[in-house]
């Protein structure tokens, strides 16, 4: 089944003319990202847009939502007055399935525990014309790659790893739910024109090295914020040599460097994948306009002239990498990893190895890992660490079972989990004797922040390719180097693992009995959306209050967050996922993972009304009850990680008025603006140090709030002294209107009310 073929043909029919017009406007050859961006403008432009400066309105082709974020996105969409979504949209049930014992039991439990949420998502999808992928169908990004992604297209998704679709040459960007509402309502979607980072890949990979190692190395080069505000475009002979799913792996984990998205040019590998997944017509149509789905030839000749930054990686020389612990940009080539483990006193004994997830669950990934598992069987080795396999979709799972890979994994003690996110997002009921004991795990996932996988601060999580993870599972030792070290088998003989082998696409084709898709009703006007009045998991939304029209004075400091503060710290996943559709209940996890600068503890802040220390949410609720607003102060790259807008909605709901930080991650800054919050940065980053625990805080200059004009924060200290701090912002006129109205949704609602 080919979804949206008419839409795709329409995009392709218009692209040559739009690219030609863009080339004239810009006055030079175009990168692929520029071709796609300019061909998706909401309205034609008469001037070239300046990268990193101009806010631009775009018209994405589609929207994708995973179940955890879809709840809040669709609760917001319900209120905006539309009878049906304006663009093709889908919901994917992948986040709420907890990994505990194995695929069948875990899926059965999820269907029972999450029954009301699944019924809500199914009914609201049915009402508004949204495609629904049932629990067990697979992880959103793998399902999108198999069914919806197309070269030259543009989509947004309510998950930070939406850029996975860049593996098929699509600009695919992770956003908050309010952004998705804009697009589903048929309104323009706003994005600051991204800068462009070019990554030139030369040579060709072989042996133990895989596509995952490309992004692990890039993460080490650019760090977790080096890609902020930029599209990363991969090009060169090395890029064309990678499989489409390998390309997707690289684009997926580009979220870990803060990139807006990542992108590869259309080539034969993409055509082969489209054909293998039943989309020959899309491959044919794309091939007809291939020159518009690749950078202009001049880009290859002198890339530094066209990209804001260029990185070059020779795949002939690339080593396998292991990144971590606690951050995805701490990059170690395998030749230096054992030394790092010893030098840093990280637990060398590996307790759990996990492969799969949205990042690395392709047929190619599984086949290469299975080749190592087969070697282990043949060489009389067993996995010395727990070993789990998470298929990315039912299509992949069915096919790898049919081709015998699952049986191979079972023979070395592997456990197959449900086609869902599971341990990658903290949905893991891990078995461990002492939760406080330092321990190590390794995954082929994308994130490894503290507590990310199992909720345990003591867990040292490392990230590598599926084949390296499998080798470590067999060895059970992080000081093992599979490229040169031997292992002792059950007979006491020393054996060595050979290089992994695999195939990009199944020789006998993909197969599936039930992919898990439910099409929406042709007319959903009579469909009733299911939300129980007494539900503890779903809550209809009330509009946030508009700005009072005055400066904000007498605010209290809620927390001054120290160091890394990701969206996991602000709004944890794991057990809290069950409240993603209930704003008040999930607000009880607000900032409980953030480290308080003044005592180096989590979830323990001073309540200035009582002088006592207590949990962050309870303290904020006390301020709200007293009619007092508050301020959160943060460090660099605040809001790094997931796209979850709950991290912005919870502070808004509980009465936080402003977030002031050294710097923001892109998606989180946008989410705060969408919810009518003040998202501000220190003009002088050292002013972070001037914020004191007992400060009374004023924000001055809001009456003349304007683009490019700084605001002032006055810190009234307990001793009677004060500091006036200059704060910068990136608000444009439209975003200032969101602030004044109390949120973007209030603006949308008023617009539709006038029609």
Active site residue 159: yes
Are the C-beta atoms of residues 688 and 723 closer than 8 Å to each other? no
Are the C-beta atoms of residues 466 and 360 closer than 8 Å to each other? yes
Helical segments of 39-66, H only: none
Active site residue 302: no
Helix (H, G, I), strand (E, B) or coil at 313: strand
What is the spatial distance between Cα 144 and Cα 4, in angstroms, rounded to a whole number? 12
Active site residue 397: no
The catalytic position among 368, 447, 668, 729 is 447
The catalytic position among 95, 452, 646, 666 is 95
What is the spatial distance between Cα 171 and Cα 485, in angstroms, rounded to a whole number? 41
The catalytic position among 94, 179, 365, 635 is 94
Give ∠ CA 145-365-502 in degrees, rounded to 5: 120
The catalytic position among 4, 61, 106, 159 is 159
Strand 630-634 vs strand 656-661: parallel, antiparallel, or unpaired? parallel
Are the C-beta atoms of residues 54 and 32 closer than 8 Å to each other? no
What is the spatial distance between Cα 381 and Cα 488, in angstroms, rounded to a whole number? 8
User: Would you state the structure tokens that stand for residue 170, as one six-digit string?
Assistant: 């699509």
Find the farthest-apart pair of alpha carbons in the chain and give their distance in angstroms, rounded.
Answer: 79
Are the C-beta atoms of residues 350 and 478 closer than 8 Å to each other? yes
343 Cβ contact list (under 8 Å, min separation 6) = none
User: Would you state the structure tokens that stand for residue 726, as one six-digit string?
Assistant: 């200059």
- Owner of token pair 């292992």: 487
Active site residue 95: yes
Spatial strand order in the sheet of 171-174: 171-174, 154-157, 62-66, 89-92, 131-133, 517-518
* 306-to-46, 141, 196, 198 alpha-carbon distances in Å: 21, 30, 8, 9
Helix (H) or strand (E) holding 338: helix 334-343
Residue 733 has a CB neighbour count (10 Å cut-off) of 9
Task: Tell me how many helices (H) and strands (E) the chain has.
Answer: 25, 30
What is the spatial distance between Cα 704 and Cα 181, in angstroms, rounded to a whole number? 29
The catalytic position among 262, 587, 630, 642 is 642
Active site residues: 94-95, 159, 447, 642, 644
């Amino acid at each position: 089944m080919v979804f949206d073929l008419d839409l795709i043909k329409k995009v392709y029919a218009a692209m040559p003319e739009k690219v030609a017009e863009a080339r004239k406007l810009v006055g030079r050859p175009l990168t692929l990202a520029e071709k796609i961006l300019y061909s998706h403008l909401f309205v034609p432009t008469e001037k070239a847009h300046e990268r990193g400066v101009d806010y631009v309105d775009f018209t994405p082709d589609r929207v994708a939502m995973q179940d955890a974020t879809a709840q809040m996105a669709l609760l917001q969409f319900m209120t905006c007055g539309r009878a049906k979504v304006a663009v093709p949209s889908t919901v994917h049930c992948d986040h709420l399935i907890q990994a505990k014992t194995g695929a069948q039991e875990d899926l059965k439990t999820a269907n029972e525990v999450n029954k009301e949420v699944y019924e809500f998502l199914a009914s609201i999808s049915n009402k508004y014309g949204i495609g629904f992928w049932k629990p067990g169908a697979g992880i959103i990004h793998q399902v999108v790659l198999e069914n919806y992604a197309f070269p030259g297209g543009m989509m947004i998704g309510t998950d930070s790893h939406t850029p996975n679709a860049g593996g098929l040459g699509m600009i695919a960007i992770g956003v908050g739910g309010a952004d998705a509402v804009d697009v589903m309502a048929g309104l323009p979607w706003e994005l600051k024109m991204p800068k462009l980072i070019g990554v030139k890949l030369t040579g060709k990979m072989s042996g133990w090295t895989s596509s995952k190692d490309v992004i692990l190395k890039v993460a080490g080069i650019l760090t977790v914020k080096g890609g902020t505000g930029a599209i990363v475009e991969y090009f060169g002979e090395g890029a064309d040599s990678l499989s489409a799913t390998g390309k997707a792996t690289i684009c997926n984990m580009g979220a870990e460097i803060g990139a807006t998205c990542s992108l590869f040019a259309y080539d034969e590998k993409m055509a082969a994948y489209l054909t293998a997944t039943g989309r020959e017509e899309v491959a044919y149509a794309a091939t007809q306009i291939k020159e518009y789905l690749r950078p202009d030839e001049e880009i290859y000749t002198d890339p530094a002239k066209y990209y804001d930054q260029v990185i070059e990686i020779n795949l002939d020389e690339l080593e396998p990498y292991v990144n971590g612990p606690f951050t995805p940009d701490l990059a170690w080539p395998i030749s230096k990893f054992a030394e790092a483990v010893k030098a840093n006193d990280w637990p060398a004994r590996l307790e759990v190895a996990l492969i799969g997830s949205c990042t690395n669950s392709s047929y190619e990934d599984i086949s290469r890992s299975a080749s190592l598992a087969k070697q282990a069987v043949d060489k009389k080795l067993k996995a010395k660490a727990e070993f789990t396999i998470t298929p990315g979709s039912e299509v992949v799972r069915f096919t790898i079972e049919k081709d015998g890979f699952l049986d191979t994994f079972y023979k070395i003690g592997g456990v197959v989990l449900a086609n869902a996110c599971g341990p990658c997002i903290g949905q893991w009921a891990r078995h461990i004797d002492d939760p406080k004991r330092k321990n190590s795990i390794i995954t082929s996932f994308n994130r490894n922040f503290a507590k990310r996988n199992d909720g345990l601060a003591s867990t040292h999580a490392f990230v590598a390719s599926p084949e390296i993870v499998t080798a470590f599972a067999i060895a059970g030792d992080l000081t093992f180097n599979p490229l040169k070290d031997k292992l002792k088998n059950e007979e006491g003989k020393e054996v060595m693992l050979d290089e992994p082998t695999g195939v990009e696409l199944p020789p006998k084709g993909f197969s599936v009995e039930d992919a898990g898709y439910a099409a929406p009703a042709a007319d959903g006007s009579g469909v009733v959306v299911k939300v129980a009045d007494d539900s503890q998991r779903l809550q209809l939304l009330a509009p946030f209050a508009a700005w009072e029209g005055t400066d904000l004075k007498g605010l209290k400091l809620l927390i001054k967050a120290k160091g890394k503060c990701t969206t996991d710290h602000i709004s944890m996943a794991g057990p809290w996922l069950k409240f993603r559709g209930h704003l008040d209940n999930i607000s009880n996890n607000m900032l409980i993972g953030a480290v308080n600068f003044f005592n180096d503890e989590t979830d323990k802040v001073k309540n200035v009304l009582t002088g006592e220390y207590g949990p962050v949410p309870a303290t904020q609720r006390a301020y709200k009850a007293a009619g007092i607003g508050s301020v959160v102060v943060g460090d660099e790259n605040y809001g790094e990680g997931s796209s979850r807008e709950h991290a912005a909605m919870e502070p808004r709901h509980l009465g936080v008025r402003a977030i002031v930080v050294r710097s923001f991650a892109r998606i989180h800054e946008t989410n705060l603006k969408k919810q009518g919050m003040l998202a501000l940065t220190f003009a002088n980053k050292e002013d972070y140090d001037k914020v004191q625990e007992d400060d009374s805080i004023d924000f001055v200059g809001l009456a003349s709030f304007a683009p490019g004009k700084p605001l002032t924060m006055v810190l009234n200290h307990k001793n009677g002294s004060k500091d006036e701090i200059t704060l910068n912002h990136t608000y444009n006129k439209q975003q200032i209107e969101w602030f004044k109205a109390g949120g973007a949704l209030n603006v949308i609602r008023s617009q539709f009310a006038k029609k």
